């Protein structure tokens, strides 16, 4: 009996992507919905001539943008990295772009190898709203001192169960928020860095801080919700349009 052993090398390739999330129902594949993962995997399959399954460092929600999403996939293709860099953007739709591709170690995984993720939320005053900016900013009138004071309460390791829209079974609800910083320029930006995030977490953190700022929630509400995640109170969130997944640390 003859036994054939395939000598084809399986390669682990990583991609850094940016995308405009306005016309997507999030990153992750959903039945009958347009997703970033779906269009990227179809484009890769067309380029490489084989079915591709990818893994992402962050699964952004509907309407959320990315400037530095990292994914990886395994493939037996012999196509050089330079050609992936040169040709994939010719296949991808105009609202998704490959920034760079590179070959990774065998054990690299875009999700599980990530040590931290960084998001930025971009805001403008409500008087600046128009039909174009509404796709890329949140519009809120802020008392900056009060808002920043509330946001800084999230720094550290906490139970963020209250600050989530949906928690998959077995998903840890304790997260470590390492950094929250603020930049004022053409827009007011909130930068948040953590080991990982729950679904909707950043938008509810910001929405809750705005509600406290406006006096719609008690001044100590954030402390209370971090201590008692089952607190009975309607959750406040901000629009997805202002949220950007900017970078990943490995």
pLDDT of residue 7: 52
In a domain, 172, yes or no: yes
Is the same domain home to 122 and 243?
Answer: yes
The reported pLDDT for the residue numbered 195 is 97
In terms of domains, do 142 and 237 share one? yes
Residue 119 neighbours by CB under 8 Å, 6+ apart: 191, 192, 193, 197, 202, 243, 244, 245, 246
pLDDT one-digit tens code per residue, 174-196: 999 999 999 999 999 999 999 99
Residues 131 and 212 in one domain: yes
Q: Are residues 99 and 166 in the same domain?
A: no
The whole-number pLDDT of residue 9 equals 86
Active site residue 20: no
- Amino acid 171: pLDDT: 87
pLDDT at 4: 40
Does 48 share its domain with 154? no
Domain boundary among 54, 73, 104: 104
Say how far apart CA 203 and CA 112 lie, in whole Å.
Answer: 23
Query: What's the pLDDT score for residue 1?
Result: 45
Residue from 32, 61, 143, 249 carrying the catalytic annotation: 61
What CATH number is associated with residue 100?
Answer: 3.30.70.580
pTM: 0.93
Verify that 177 and 237 share a domain, yes or no: yes
> Tell me, what's the pLDDT at 220?
97
- Are the C-beta atoms of residues 124 and 141 closer than 8 Å to each other? no
Which residue stretches of the chain have pLDDT < 70? 1-8
> What DSSP element (H or E) covers 64?
none
Same domain, 152 and 208: yes
Same structural domain, 35 and 146: no
**What range defines the domain where residue 208 resides?**
116-249
Which are the contacts of 152, defined by CB distance < 8 A and separation ≥ 6?
180
Q: Are residues 183 and 245 in the same domain?
A: yes
């Amino acid at each position: 009996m003859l036994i054939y052993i395939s000598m084809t090398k399986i390669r682990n390739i990583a991609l850094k992507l940016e995308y405009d999330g306005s016309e997507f129902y999030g990153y992750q594949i959903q039945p009958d919905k347009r997703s970033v993962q779906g269009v990227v995997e179809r484009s890769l399959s067309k380029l490489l001539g084989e079915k591709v399954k990818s893994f992402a460092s962050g699964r952004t929600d509907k309407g959320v943008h990315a400037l530095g999403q990292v994914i990886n996939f395994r493939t037996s293709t012999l196509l050089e990295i330079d050609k992936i860099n040169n040709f994939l953007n010719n296949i991808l739709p105009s609202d998704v772009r490959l920034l760079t591709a590179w070959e990774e170690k065998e054990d690299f995984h875009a999700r599980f190898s990530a040590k931290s993720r960084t998001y930025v939320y971009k805001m403008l005053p409500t008087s600046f709203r128009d039909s174009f900016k509404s796709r890329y900013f949140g519009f809120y009138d802020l008392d900056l001192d009060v808002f920043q004071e509330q946001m800084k309460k999230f720094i550290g390791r906490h139970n963020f169960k209250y600050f989530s829209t949906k928690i998959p079974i077995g998903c840890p609800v304790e997260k470590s928020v390492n950094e929250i910083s603020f930049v004022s320029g053409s827009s007011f930006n909130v930068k948040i860095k953590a080991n990982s995030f729950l679904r909707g977490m950043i938008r509810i953190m910001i929405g809750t801080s705005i509600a406290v700022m406006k006096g719609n929630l008690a001044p100590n509400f954030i402390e209370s919700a971090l201590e008692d995640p089952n607190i009975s109170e309607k959750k406040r969130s901000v629009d997805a349009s202002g949220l950007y997944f900017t970078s990943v640390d490995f």
